[in-house]
Chains A and B, each alone.
Chain A
């Protein structure tokens, strides 16, 4: 029991020293860890949002028909008989405008007396393309102001998504490798600076684990702290500021990163720091 208490005292003292060392040293390394975490989160953010859009596009192409005429149920029925049509919805133009540009824009449009067109949202069956017959019916029946077939956008979206997926994977690997290199370098220089102390510890009978533990703990703790700080700053400064939420003209539904992604990044980074620190120490001691 006394030994266990002594061990707890040792852990507590080590943690306290790690906390103090974190504040006063390795500043540059800590900032690098923070930037790495922020970069990884940024790529994750793009991935999450493009993933969302890809899922939507896989369900089938959505054609948006902007028209001032209210379509009759007969017109809609005629259109729905085409084999490529899966679903048809009529959405009030004001709803779309508010979603895309906000309440304030809607108010301005209303006050200016702008006749806002309504939108017929037509979803095609998965993998189906827009046929000539479909175009003819839409143009003759609804006399649209504008038709958004969305094909080009969705094709390029798929390509961008693949690029972002690859980039995301690469960034995560770089994030982990970066932390491994930073921690290994930090541990190495720390050991060289504290050679005298380590030598004395060995002479009085300290085991390799006893010597390695404070350094491992210090670097694990520091990495954890600065990854968390980096992600927090990213969340507040990038997502919280709304830089992306008003962009894209409603094409992408911008979402913040799910909490689990942050957890993955923190765990991966902290784990990499712990393994790298311990492994470097065991090799050097």
Chain B
């Protein structure tokens, strides 16, 4: 599903955020990406999500070489992915419902189907009672759950999560991880970046460990 071949990424042209990264993630796999702050976890996820382009090397997502992908094709590939960002990236003045529904509306899914799917994920993440509340009025933990709801509502092929439990207490973190497991059980490939080793211990899965932009364990 995801293949990296000798990928390098530099933002400045001198220092490399990622160096010679090669790995493969199978379809339906659940993988933790771990490493200290600045190890390159976020950059790796951004490359998969095509928010950044590699400086060197090849990346294949669902069989498509993203180096050769035209800019206009990126939105269509993104519709097959879900991304939970560390900083949530929600529209503050929109309601919880609209923030989640937009992931389906951009693909012109009909409104009846949007309502059905959004209601389902909001119930799953215990956000149903706050569906009409603007996200700016929610706590950090609630906003994180809205971001997760938006990422999983379209049943993506690939789910990327960048420290999704960073702002949550341990109990809620476990609950969230259970949600990711459920999504994974339905066949979605999950790439979960975290530096929380206790979480990895509790949910043993394959780990890709980064250190100063290089893979030290996969």
A interface residue numbers (CB < 8 A to B): 2-3, 5-7, 9-10, 196-197, 199-208, 210
Question: How many residues of B are counted as interface, with CB atoms below 8 angstroms from the partner's CB atoms?
Answer: 28
Residue on A with the closest CB to B82?
A204
- Is B83 among interface residues, defined by CB-CB distance under 8 A? yes
- The residue that B75 contacts in the complex, of A2, A3, A205, with Cβ under 8 A, is A205
Q: Are A204 and B106 in contact (CB under 8 A)?
A: yes
Q: Are B102 and A6 in contact (CB under 8 A)?
A: no
- Is B214 among interface residues, defined by CB-CB distance under 8 A? no
- The residue that A205 contacts in the complex, of B78, B85, B91, with Cβ under 8 A, is B78
A6 to B109, CA, bound (A): 6
| Contacts known (A197-B91, A203-B78, A207-B72); A3 close to B106, Cβ less than 8 A | no
Tell me the minimal C-beta distance from A211 to chain B in angstroms.
Answer: 9
- The residue that A201 contacts in the complex, of B85, B92, B106, B110, with Cβ under 8 A, is B106
Q: Are A196 and B107 in contact (CB under 8 A)?
A: no
Q: Are A206 and B113 in contact (CB under 8 A)?
A: no
- Is B89 among interface residues, defined by CB-CB distance under 8 A? yes
Residues of A within 8 A of B102 (CB): 200-201, 204
- Is B111 among interface residues, defined by CB-CB distance under 8 A? yes
B49, B75, B89, B111 pick with most chain A CB within 10 angstroms: B75
Interface of chain B residues 97 through 121 with chain A (CB within 8 A): 99, 102-103, 105-111, 113
Sampled A-B contacts (17; CB under 8 Å): A2-B109, A3-B108, A3-B109, A6-B108, A6-B109, A6-B110, A6-B111, A9-B111, A197-B91, A200-B89, A200-B90, A202-B75, A203-B51, A204-B79, A204-B102, A204-B150, A205-B76
